[in-house]
Structure 1
Amino acid sequence: MSQAEGLTEKTALEAAEIACGKVGIDGTGAELIRMGSNAVFRLKGQIILRIAREREGFKSARRQVGVARWLESEDYPANRVLDVRQPVDALGHPATFWVSVAEKEAYASVAQVAEVIRDLHKLQAPDSLQLEQKQPFDEIAERLNAARSLSGNDERFMRQRITELSHQYAELQFLLPRGVIHGDANIGNVILTRDEAPCLIDLDSFCIGPREWDLVQTALFFERFGWHSADEYKRFVDIYGFDIMKWSGYETLASYREISMTLWLAASETEKAANEVRKRVIAIRNGGDRRDWSAF
């Protein structure tokens, strides 16, 4: 089953009602605030409900809950899960309940993102979490298989490019030690709490791997997309203590991330997403400017 199958706004609302009923939470007036990899609802009492699109995602959901509880025990600034037995089976989809940190989504500064990543990389996860090893090309293969808006030619190009990158990746010499990583660390996953403190969210990709994976998106957003300024990136490097752009493997990881971001979007069937995917593939194929890529 592809990522997009089996969960619409209507069925997500039905699943939310079932999930709330199973844990005794009032789901009246549940507000759908996002439909992506998860259907995300805001509930009464400062609660966030996430329902995964993938029916096979119970293992991942259990891992996310375990990671959140471990990070709370470390007093690390990340999403807290509600103290209920979870994940919950909601129409076959895993549902998890989280403490809402703010009523509006405001992002942390790039400097705060660097602090959050630096402090995460100081932690050592307990063996009981059973975190998986980073497998980037298994992940991107799943996204490619779920893509719906790629033309035949674009799909062939992407497969060829992924193969090239996999060969390059196999030869990389990482400079930072392996350890716990967020796996999708960027400014979009560090939000400000009601007290304007940074909080790491979206623990879906938590795993063990090279720490460079948690640095590449900030560099990419600066160097290729222009979403961060030179001063912001310099501050990021100064705080974390390592400039990934000076490492020989940066281009490989950055190119991988571009394709991963594009394939994630290609799972959507909307005309707006399809147009954006086509624009991105053309830029990747021809080495074109990425500064007109729209954020999704």
Structure 2
Amino acid sequence: MTAELADNEVLSVLRTACLAVGLDPEGAELLGLSENAIYKLPGDVVVRISRTGQRTAARREVDVARWLENSGIQAVQVIPHIEQPVEVDGRSVTFWRELPPHQHGTPAQVAAALKQLHALAPPADFTLGELAPFVRLEERIEAASILSDGDRQWMREYLAELRQRWDELPEGLPWCVIHGDAWVGNVVSTNDGRVILLDLERTSIGPPEWDLVHTAIKQTSFGWISAKQYAEFCDVYGYDVTDWVGFGLLRDIREFRMTTMAAQSATENPKDREQAAHRLACIRSDCGPRPWSGWRALS
């Protein structure tokens, strides 16, 4: 499918979903196109359109947002009085309040938000489910047409190895409510002084170390933040995940997820092909020891 056809398909889904809930899709502005397509409507409404087959994740994200709001946790909020997600051609569409002006949270702000989230008792009126660390990875590998047969086979074998290691995950902190994708872009700081959690579709019950490893690898794997910033993160949370015997496994899974995401993106956006190849070379140990240079955000 060409990018133009994909865009037309997503726009058709947007129009159908908006009309189904009484919103006007005219003037919609594309904000982002990655794992989800994100549009802004006039009137401060943001629309998220999933890839196909993501109804369960979308339903959970809506439930989690409402639960967090009722629990006093600052998080992105759904538009009230709309029954969602809306299903159109296998895609799940959800409707959200636009955030005020904001920027990525600092490592210390991420730590404070995670500490508050991890202290919550699980919701009583719906089930979060357990963390699924390998969700969508097989699909990404098989759909990534940029991969050679050899690269694809290596990724399949490495995924199998990671699954086996996960089955032997060492004991760590008590499992709790986790965000599931707690990088700084999903924990933002608003100009009015709030720290807000975004992208709640992977919220689940799991090891809190899974959330902590996101920030740790920014220092240990990529050098994106300084040692001082990482120390501040650990001080605020009260724990350094790199001291845990299971850190290497969670680091490897996170790096692998980031690599499959780049392969998926590069299949749709040729600008990301070099980045996908570089990430794959790094995790295959072709680029020397960590921290690796050259990892950058996808287009």
How far 1:284 sits from its partner (Å)?
A: 1.3
Residue 38 of structure 1: aligned partner:
36
How far apart, in 2, do the equivalents of 1:7 and 1:204 lie? 26
SS in 2 for 1:136: coil
In the alignment, structure 1 segments of 5+ residues that lack a partner are: none
Check the 8 A contact 1:182/1:206 in 2, yes or no.
Answer: yes
Residue 285 of structure 1: aligned partner:
284
Residue 161 of structure 1: aligned partner:
158
How far apart, in 2, do the equivalents of 1:13 and 1:164 lie? 39
SS in 2 for 1:129: coil
How far 1:276 sits from its partner (Å)?
A: 1.3
Check the 8 A contact 2:142/2:152 in 1, yes or no.
Answer: no
Q: Which amino acid aligns with 1:171?
A: E
Residue 14 of structure 2: aligned partner:
16
How far apart, in 2, do the equivalents of 1:210 and 1:192 lie? 25
Check the 8 A contact 1:143/1:260 in 2, yes or no.
Answer: no
Q: Which amino acid aligns with 1:166?
A: R
Residue 90 of structure 1: aligned partner:
88
Residue range with higher mean Cα deviation, 226-235 or 282-291 = 282-291
Q: Which amino acid aligns with 1:278?
A: A
How far 1:194 sits from its partner (Å)?
A: 4.4
Please, what TM-score do these two structures have when normalized by structure 1? 0.92
Residues 8-61 of structure 1 deviation map (CA, whole Å, 9 limit, x = unaligned):
22222222122211111232210011111111001122111001122x222221
SS in 1 for 2:137: helix
Q: Does 2:132 correspond to 1:132?
A: no
Residue 225 of structure 1: aligned partner:
222
What is the aligned-residue identity percentage?
39
How far apart, in 1, do the equivalents of 2:129 and 2:3 lie? 25
SS in 2 for 1:113: helix
Residue 201 of structure 1: aligned partner:
198
Q: Which amino acid aligns with 1:25?
A: L
What count of residue pairs does the alignment treat as equivalent? 292
Residue range with higher mean Cα deviation, 110-119 or 170-179 = 170-179
Residue 263 of structure 2: aligned partner:
266
Residue 212 of structure 1: aligned partner:
209
